Amino acid sequence: MKPSRQTDSRRQGLTHWTRRQLRSLLPLAPAISGLAAVSGDASFRRYFRASPTPGVSYIAVDAPPEKEDSRPFVEVCRLFGEASLRVPELLAVDLEQGYLLLEDFGDQLYLPHLLQARDAGDRAAVDAFCHGAIDSLLDLQQRVDPDGLPHYDQTELTREMSLFPGWFCRRWLGVEIKAKHRELIEDSFRFLCESALVQSEVAVHRDYHSRNLMLLDSAPGRPGIIDFQDAVRGACSYDLVSLLRDCYIRWDRQWLDDWIAYYLHGARERGILGEISHRRFRRDFDLMGLQRHLKVLGIFCRLAIRDQKPEFLDDLPLVMDYFTEVAGEYAEMAPLLKWFRRELAPRAREQLEQPF
């Protein structure tokens, strides 16, 4: 998509601002000639690399203040950093203009390395990645005080799941939801909320998966953590299900069970969880995943339709598989699952075969 004049103007403004910040940080370094685009994400933020000298680089972030509030990012970055989590150092902030300058973590996302190791059948390498991510998650849950974070309450949990009927069903599939279907949707939402709200509460990253974890030479064995600005106080299973039922990579069930056991052992040892049984925790994990995946079905469709990012539709089949497989294990989800399988899934498969 061709950048708008406003977008180009913001890039120019960010370049001038970054130049000034680097002049203060590195007074002897030459001025940067410009910024190199790195990536965007599922928001209106854009990321650029500034390289004043060979081997030295920083990340400049454009977060338009009318579309992105950067204050939560700044606050959570401080909170996580104080807990010794590996998050980017925040070097300069201009909230009024929506500009940030960060430590550069490089380009080594977890996802391609996990895919390569999985496809090669290298269980040892996959275990090393996942154990490191789980250990950092346990650090987050043990060290970060969740009391200052927004509460992941019933209103917010339900608001997120409402993206499923709103964007997945109505906007993408064109399904007009009948009264009987609204009722079973509401019943399922209520059931999933009740399950989430009785779990032990911790600080929750809220998007702890392979595209938000990075390999760092400076911290071998532990991931760099990004995209944490939506952190909340909520259910202890949420981030684990984001990691292990990742919307971008699927794992063998036995491997998944082993990693859940690894987390549960660590959480008990650290006092994050009491003597919860593996069976009860697995139920909490599964139901939390259903809440998340209903939300994600709506989010991916919204990103495609509203934000013109159709590439997110490529990941819908895996999310739909997660939903149907896990929902099939819980009788309380049977009415919604029956409608999903009979009407929604066939329409979705047809839609995915059409050009967007």
Q: Express each pLDDT in 57-75 by its tens digit.
A: 999 999 999 999 999 999 9
Amino acid 273: pLDDT = 96
Q: Express each pLDDT in 175-206 by its tens digit.
A: 999 999 999 999 999 999 999 999 999 999 99
- The answer, yes or no, to whether residue 7 has pLDDT greater than 60, is no
pLDDT classification of 147: cutoffs 50, 70, 90: very high
Instruction: Out of 8-12, 120-124, 291-295, pick the least confident.
Output: 8-12
User: In whole numbers, what is the pLDDT of the chain averaged over residues?
Assistant: 94
Amino acid 8: pLDDT = 83
Instruction: Out of 53-57, 168-172, 208-212, 261-265, pick the least confident.
Output: 53-57
- The answer, yes or no, to whether residue 53 has pLDDT greater than 70, is yes
Amino acid 217: pLDDT = 84
Amino acid 40: pLDDT = 61
Q: Express each pLDDT in 220-276 by its tens digit.
A: 789 999 999 999 999 999 999 999 999 999 999 999 999 999 999 999 999 999 889
Amino acid 220: pLDDT = 78
d(CA 165, CA 185): 8
Q: Between 235 and 354, whose confidence is greater?
A: 235
% the chain with pLDDT above 70: 97
Stretch 123-145: mean pLDDT, rounded?
97
pTM (global) more than 0.75? yes
Amino acid 275: pLDDT = 87
**CB-based contacts of 245, cutoff 8 Å, min separation 6:** 256, 289, 292, 293, 322
Instruction: Out of 5-9, 35-39, 330-334, pick the least confident.
Output: 5-9
Amino acid 41: pLDDT = 62
* Domains assigned to the chain: 5-103 (3.30.200.20), 110-353 (3.90.1200.10)
